[in-house]
Structure 1
Amino acid sequence: MVEEICLFTKGDIIIKAPKKSPVLLRTIVLVFVMVCGVYICSICLKQTNSSTKTKFSNIEVVERHCHVYDIDRSQTPYLHYPKPKTFHRAECSCNPVRLFAILSMQRSGSGWFETLLNSHINVSSNGEIFLFKERRENASSITETLDRVYNLDWFTSASKNQCSAAVGFKWMLNQGLMEHHREIVQYFNDRGVSVIFLFRRNLLRRMVSMIANSYDRYAKLLNGTHKSHVHSPEEAETLSRYKPKINLTSLMTDLKQMEVTVAKTLEHFQSTRHIILYYEDLVKNGTKLADVQEFLKLPRMELTSRQVKIHKGPLSEHIKNWDDVNKTLKGTDYERFLYADY
């Protein structure tokens, strides 16, 4: 006979259930607990796996930071580790790169100077990148062009396969530099661009070189080819045969204007990290090139150039109306230009 036990009542209805033995009840409870435990564990495992997968999917690969312990802390703002989009730097990724710009005027020796820099195995100087007007139409186009150069995405004949230690270009003062000098100075200071000023002390020789070069653009004295720079004494002699006639009416004004332009440039860019060079000093003093390499923190090398100077010797041999020019400048602040060798 199975005993019954009253579980609960509802109104007049009495609901009864069979009375089980204590052992059976304990067994049922134990099985229930085990099932619940297995279910809960399975839920926890699923959540753990899902969380692990989520964490792994959100992890980004962080590149190894480049440490250069032997460099002065003051140089840190001038060290860069570019990530070009057009090629992978591979083993050069931790090689610090310094950014520079050569600010100069036409016929001041900047072409010759740049060939000297590019003879260094770790330097890439990319020429007059702002020669084309579309690159200097406004501050935005200038910034975009600068970014391409300094991110190592600008390829010219100066680009090196070796790890670059210094990357830059030359920028003539009449190529948007003065018009947008505020934005350019801000960019240079933000990115730690070092400025190399290169000017010519003898402005009369610069004038002769400019007029002669302008003439050759149309005359093309070298077998119908115009060359701003030459690599042989024969070519230099051919070009030097042309003797320009100096405009005496505007001579003093032109020389003064050149001086003013140089002074304004130095004033505009005085807040940048810079070095001031003169063509004459580079020619006469070999230690000046060592100073440039130290300024850019380059491994010291002997720098060479294939370019040959065109207008050698005294100016009296290269100016058609020399006597008149000599008379005009005598007794003025520019008399010193008459007899300087360079």
Structure 2
Amino acid sequence: MVVLVFVMVCGVYICANCLKQISTRTYLNIKVVDQPCQDLGIEQWEVPYVHYPQPETFSREECGCNPVWYFAILSMQRSGSGWFETLLNSHINVSSNGEIFSVISRRANISSLVKTMDKVYNLDWFTSASKNECLAAVGFKWMLNQGLMEHHADIVKYFKKKGVSAIFLFRRNLLRRMISILANSYDKDAKLLNGTHKSHVHSSTEAHILAKYKPKMNATLLIPELTKAEEASAKALQYFKNIRHIVLYYEDVINNRTKLQEVQEFLRLPVRELTSRQVKIHSGLLSEQIENWDDVQQALKGTSYQSFLQSDRKL
């Protein structure tokens, strides 16, 4: 009896220790799975902006511990955003997916906006910008008139919750922007390039053909239109001022290439030389690009927009 009791006590003791070890090991394993990427040198302020997406359409296990930053380029049509995005996409670790909200159904309401953004930021959105390499930054281009301003309050909440950084890209000379808008609108019908409309070109020959068209501006509506564009950019900056952001101007990026380094540092990217195949269309003097140049000069003379005329030089 004594031997039997001793055997039973030993058996209970051994089983209890085994269960305890199994339980501890299971707990440790779960902890490792839940938090696989801890020792990456991420600074405390960066934590809300660092993400580890888990796409539903493919496995990125090899990039599992590669932190991804979310961004959105906020701009207006004909402000150089297309050219700027090609520069970003020349970086091997960046995927900027274009003007995704140009499709009306994707911006019908805040639910469709959020659904689309979730898909992009989860890396389940495939465009020509999609990369096979481990991404360090993923985003898209968003024009102010594509639901951004109408739903700004909800979008700000989304950006804060998801840790999305905003890149504002505007144009200082709004008169040059208007020339580009009118010329692009004209070419949609005229199709000057052998019956094909192109908003952006990749050769100097194509750029020269499109630049031959000189729009005639409505001098009466000129100042109201410039004011409207100016107010739109000011409102956007006000609405998103509490979001982590950087403000860029097209002219500055062209004239000072260190601005591209600032953008890469803003997105926590390894700095590389960025390139684009796009060729600027309207690069001549302002006086050579507007049919009724004298009327435009007269309309802006003595106004806050007179400085646009003083940049009558090649850019």
Q: TM-score, normalised by structure 2?
A: 0.90
> Among residues 117, 129, 135, which one is paired with 1:164 in the alignment?
135
> 1:297 is matched by which residue type in structure 2?
R
Distance in 1 between the 2:44 and 2:167 partners?
22
Determine which structure has greater relative contact order: mean sequence separation of CA pairs < 8 Å that are 6+ residues apart, divided by chain length: 2
> 2:295 is matched by which residue type in structure 1?
D
Any conservation in 2 of the 1:315–1:339 contact (CA below 8 Å)?
no
Residues 28-61 of structure 1, C-alpha deviations (whole Å, 9 max, x = no match): xx7xxx8xx8xx99xx8xx99xx99x989x9885
Query: What's the counterpart of residue 213 of structure 1?
Result: 184
Query: What's the counterpart of residue 233 of structure 2?
Result: 262
Query: What's the counterpart of residue 120 of structure 2?
Result: 149
Whether 1:326 aligns to 2:297 is yes
Distance in 2 between the 1:255 and 1:119 partners?
33
Query: What's the counterpart of residue 25 of structure 1?
Result: none
> 2:177 is matched by which residue type in structure 1?
R
Identity %: 63
Task: Evaluate the alpha carbon distance shift between residue 207 and residue 68 of structure 1 in structure 2; reply closer, same or farther with a 3 A threshold.
Answer: farther
Distance in 1 between the 2:277 and 2:136 partners?
23
Query: What's the counterpart of residue 193 of structure 2?
Result: 222
Any conservation in 1 of the 2:57–2:124 contact (CA below 8 Å)?
yes
May I ask how many residue pairs the two structures share in their alignment?
A: 310
Distance in 2 between the 1:336 and 1:78 partners?
39
Whether 1:121 aligns to 2:121 is no
Task: Evaluate the alpha carbon distance shift between residue 208 and residue 103 of structure 1 in structure 2; reply closer, same or farther with a 3 A threshold.
Answer: same
Mapping of residues 1-342 of structure 1, within 5 Å: 63=33, 65-340=36-311, 341=313, 342=315
Residues 286-306 of structure 1, C-alpha deviations (whole Å, 9 max, x = no match): 110010011001001000000
Q: CA offset at residue 339 of structure 1?
A: 3.1
Q: CA offset at residue 104 of structure 1?
A: 0.1
> 1:193 is matched by which residue type in structure 2?
V
Any conservation in 2 of the 1:194–1:273 contact (CA below 8 Å)?
yes
Name the SS of the counterpart of 2:196 in structure 1.
coil
Distance in 2 between the 1:339 and 1:306 partners?
29
Distance in 2 between the 1:67 and 1:306 partners?
39
Distance in 1 between the 2:61 and 2:54 partners?
10
Distance in 1 between the 2:309 and 2:201 partners?
25
Distance in 2 between the 1:135 and 1:259 partners?
27
Name the SS of the counterpart of 1:184 in structure 2.
helix
Q: TM-score, normalised by structure 1?
A: 0.83
Any conservation in 2 of the 1:244–1:320 contact (CA below 8 Å)?
yes
Distance in 1 between the 2:287 and 2:42 partners?
51
Which segments of structure 1 move beyond 6 Å, counting only runs of 4 or more?
none
Q: Which runs of 5+ in 2 are unaligned?
A: none
Any conservation in 1 of the 2:173–2:308 contact (CA below 8 Å)?
yes
Q: CA offset at residue 338 of structure 1?
A: 1.4
Any conservation in 1 of the 2:220–2:299 contact (CA below 8 Å)?
no
> 1:149 is matched by which residue type in structure 2?
V
Name the SS of the counterpart of 2:290 in structure 1.
coil
> 1:198 is matched by which residue type in structure 2?
L
> 1:325 is matched by which residue type in structure 2?
V
Name the SS of the counterpart of 2:310 in structure 1.
coil
Distance in 1 between the 2:42 and 2:207 partners?
44
Distance in 1 between the 2:284 and 2:190 partners?
23
Distance in 2 between the 1:327 and 1:137 partners?
42
Distance in 1 between the 2:166 and 2:212 partners?
36
Residues 109-130 of structure 1, C-alpha deviations (whole Å, 9 max, x = no match): 0000000000000000000111
Q: CA offset at residue 71 of structure 1?
A: 2.6
Say what the alpha-carbon RMSD is for the aligned residues: 2.7
Distance in 1 between the 2:166 and 2:53 partners?
19
Q: CA offset at residue 327 of structure 1?
A: 1.2
> 1:174 is matched by which residue type in structure 2?
N
